[in-house]
Amino acid sequence: MDVPIESRPIWVDTGVQLVAGTTYRLLATGRWRDASIDTDAAGYSSASALQKLTEKMRRMPNAPWFALIGAIDRKPDTQFLIGSGTTFVAPASGQLTCFANDLRGFYFNNTGRVILTVE
């Protein structure tokens, strides 16, 4: 199943229902932009001193800027890095939800989308 993931929403509800204990292969293609920075779903390293200072304030602090992040039912404790692709065993059943890893309050300058394939 292919799902477009827009970069501007705080959460993207994919409509994909995950089943606890099931293994899923997730692949993301395409490009999106964080203000003027063009990247793919793997994200990018801090491009400025200000970004370096605010890394710990990202929604998923240890993942790159603008990396594709997944979660189950928007629950922060289920967040995981998808990036350009990963294999993932669902820890719980629920809807796969996603977002571009950014600072809350700074989604207004995001553009583009990636396509997430769920197998």
HEC readout, the chain = CEEEEECCCCCEEEEEEECCCCEEEEEEEEEEEECCEEECCCCECCCCHHHHHHHHHCCCCCCCECCEEEEECCCHHHCEECCCEEEEECCCCEEEEEEECCCCCCHHHEEEEEEEEEC
For the chain, give every domain's residue range: 2-118
Per-residue pLDDT, averaged over 15-24, amounts to 98
Q: How confident is the model at residue 85 (pLDDT cuts 50, 70, 90)?
A: very high
Q: How confident is the model at residue 36 (pLDDT cuts 50, 70, 90)?
A: very high
The pTM assigned to this predicted structure is 0.96
Residues 99-119 pLDDT 10s: 999 999 999 999 999 999 999
* CATH of the domain spanning 2-118: 2.60.120.430
As a whole number, the mean pLDDT across the chain is 97
Per-residue pLDDT, averaged over 18-45, amounts to 97
Per-residue pLDDT, averaged over 70-77, amounts to 97
Per-residue pLDDT, averaged over 78-98, amounts to 97
